[in-house]
Amino acid sequence: MAQITDNAIILRTRPFSDTSIIAVVLTRSHGKVSVLAKGARRIKGGAGASLEPFTRAELVYYDKPGRSLQTLAKSAIVDSTPALSTSLGATAAANLAAECVDRLVEEGEPHSDVYAALAASLGQLEAGREPVATAAGFVVRLLTCLGYSPSLAECAECGGAVEGTAVLDPRRGGVLCPQCDVGAGGVTLSGGSLTLLRRLAMAGPPAGLKLAPGQKRELMAVAEVLIEGQLDRPLRSANFARQVLLGS
């Protein structure tokens, strides 16, 4: 049994007993891990506070190979996200990002690139950046880290230029030019939304970015179809995100 110390982002928690919780976390160097935090529900401001969703914490845990649940020894907050709990929009986007990681990253596979992308996006939400744009950009970066990068720069089928309104079909690998989009599913993006998505794939939304309602709907739909193209069941957090972020 090894004792491991690593930074981690808390993805979700659930009660395990009257006093203990299970936290599913993404560690920086050891991938996704489930840890049992004994007594975490009893101590206010102690281990419990460092295990709030979206918090970045330094964890010390005992790792038993072959076990799906590891035992937490110690945890301390590295970076908390107080603004995320006061802004419903930021919370909805953070929930979506955390669920995407939880559903797509397998336990025991180190993904320091996913860790960095998630930490950056949570930081952007904490700083008040536009939540739909942050979530959509995160989804593209997550898929890229995991080897499922959608083609956004050129037509996924013929490699031709794609300008203006275009269809993005995850089953066919990304955006399609007008010659190739016959029979395509997925989402229709305006030229403005596609240009923005290409930028968001590289970096978070700029400060002060505001989206028109139509752009929010397009980017939210893109985030959902891209992720759900990789999943066998829909995202649980998508309904809440749509209600809060789109008002629908």
**H-assigned helices in 105-211:** 112-126, 131-145, 191-200
Interaction of residue 156 with Zn ion, rule CB under 5 A: no
Q: How far apart are the C-alpha atoms of 121 and 111, rounded to whole Å?
A: 16
Q: Which range in 54-62, 151-159, 191-199, 214-222 contacts Zn ion by CB under 5 A? A: 151-159
Interaction of residue 180 with Zn ion, rule CB under 5 A: yes
Which segments within 16-100 are labelled E, that is strand? 21-27, 31-37, 56-63, 70-79
Q: Which range in 89-97, 140-148, 157-165, 212-220 contacts Zn ion by CB under 5 A? A: 157-165
Burial bucket for residue 183 (CB in 10 Å: 0-12, 13-18, 19+): exposed
Which residue from 99, 157, 169, 218 is in contact with Zn ion, where contact means CB under 5 A? 157
Interaction of residue 155 with Zn ion, rule CB under 5 A: yes
Which residue from 15, 108, 160, 185 is in contact with Zn ion, where contact means CB under 5 A? 160
Interaction of residue 177 with Zn ion, rule CB under 5 A: yes
**Which strands make up the sheet holding 174-176, listed edge to edge?**
174-176, 166-169, 187-189
CB of 16 to Zn ion, least distance (A): 52
- Taking the least distance from each CB to Zn ion, the nearer of 99 and 157 is 157
Interaction of residue 152 with Zn ion, rule CB under 5 A: no
Count of positions (residues) in the chain:
248
How many residues bind Zn ion (CB under 5 A)? The answer is 6
Interaction of residue 119 with Zn ion, rule CB under 5 A: no
- Taking the least distance from each CB to Zn ion, the nearer of 186 and 205 is 186
Interaction of residue 169 with Zn ion, rule CB under 5 A: no
Report the candidate in 216, 219, 181 with the shortest Cα–Cα distance to residue 197: 219
Interaction of residue 126 with Zn ion, rule CB under 5 A: no
Phi-psi region of 66 (alpha: psi -120 to 50; beta: other; left: phi over 0): left
Footprint on this chain of Zn ion (rule: CB under 5 A): 155, 157-158, 160, 177, 180
